[in-house]
Amino acid sequence: MNEIIRMENIHKFYENGKESLEALKGVSFTLNQGEILAIMGSSGSGKSTLLNIIGAMDSASGGEIYLNGKLEKDYGTEPKATRIRSENIGFIFQSFNLIHDFTVMENVSLPLILSGEKSSEIRKRTKEMLAMVGLSEKEKNPVTDLSGGQKQRVAIARALINNPKILLADEPTGNLDCNTACEIMELILDLKEKNGQSIILVTHDPVIAGYADRILFLQDGLIYGEYKNKAGAGNVDEILAKFRESQKNSRGEMGV
């Protein structure tokens, strides 16, 4: 399988006055082409920090990042970070991060406007994308009119409109009820089948993690275990057992 992203020994320090907090303590893993990778871990374990570094929204304090097999120095530092994001990354968040004053269509077309596409092309691609996420009839509505699940569909359409190779999702279903959460996951899977993205998904929820091909368990800034989801549909009990085991390992109770 071809690798798309490889993280080698990633460290992240947050400096706060005299205090320094080590949020990532040497994280290494590979995301393969077309793979869905979930990252589970308790609150404060470093999941968002890691995702922001992969998404070139923040820079690592140490370690190396390879994109399509090539070492990218200064990956998360401007001006390279903007180029990496715009050419490779789509991001969705728990809180949707939509622009409230904009309509559905305006929110989805924003990345194309920013990258200077022709207006006829913007209109065509935005309409296609809205059809894919099932929101064609809402294109003129302000996003504030929408339900949580519909807002996340808008965010997915916006994240994928530039056809990024990598979709990063930080708790994408965290604000949704469980039926809507599963619908959103089915949509993400469906779009991945059509467009071939590789996906990294941060979640607390073993049901949502069960949609992934592979799950990494992050605790205290380190990976303490991995679960390969061979069956396709996730086995929630087994995922939970592995998660609990990784937490024990991170506290040194079982050795690593």
Chain residues binding Mg ion by CB under 5 A are 48
Judged by CB, which is closer to Mg ion: 94, or 249? 94
Cα(72)–Cα(42) distance, integer angstroms: 30
User: Whole-number minimum distance, CB 49 to ligand ATP, in Å?
Assistant: 3
148-160 and 178-195 are packed helices; what angle lies between their axes, rounded to 10 degrees? 20
41-70 residues in contact with ligand ATP (CB under 6 A) are 41, 43-49
48 vs 150, beta carbon nearer Mg ion: 48
Closer by beta carbon to ligand ATP, 111 or else 172: 172
Binding-site member from 2, 20, 21, 113 for ligand ATP (CB under 6 A):
21
* Beta-carbon count within 10 A of 235 CB: 16
Looking from the CA of 136 toward its CB, the CA atoms found within 13 Å total 8
The least distance separating ligand ATP from the CB of residue 82, rounded to whole angstroms, comes to 20
The answer to whether 23 contacts ligand ATP (rule: CB under 6 A) is: yes
* Residue 65 Cβ vs ligand ATP, minimum distance, rounded to whole Å: 17
Instruction: Please say which residue, 41 or 76, places its beta carbon nearer to Mg ion.
Output: 41
Contact in structure between 209 and 203 (CB atoms under 8 Å): yes
Q: Which does 107 bind (CB under 5 to 8 A by kind): ligand ATP, Mg ion, none?
A: none
Considering only 14, 69, 115, 131, the residue that binds ligand ATP (CB under 6 A) is 14
Pick left, alpha or beta for residue 117 (phi over 0 → left; psi -120 to 50 → alpha; otherwise beta).
beta
Rounded to whole angstroms, what are the CA distances from 181 to 36, 236, 237?
A: 16, 15, 19
CB of 147 to Mg ion, least distance (A): 23
- Binding range to ligand ATP, per CB under 6 A, among 15-23, 64-72, 80-88, 158-166: 15-23
Our CB check for ligand ATP shows the closer of 41 and 164 to be: 41
Which partner in Mg ion, ligand ATP, none is near 187 (CB below 5 to 8 A by kind)? none
- How many CB atoms neighbour CB 99 within 10 A? 12
Q: Tokens 């807002």 label which residue? A: 151
Smallest Cα–Cα separation from 26: which of 226, 219, 247, 246? Answer: 219
Instruction: Report the amino acid identity of residue 12.
Output: K
CB of 174 to ligand ATP, least distance (A): 9
In this structure, are residues 192 and 92 in contact, taking their beta carbons and an 8 Å threshold? no
CA dihedral defined by 116, 98, 214, 28, rounded to 10 degrees? 70
Instruction: State the residues that interact with ligand ATP by CB under 6 A.
Output: 14, 16, 21, 23, 41, 43-49
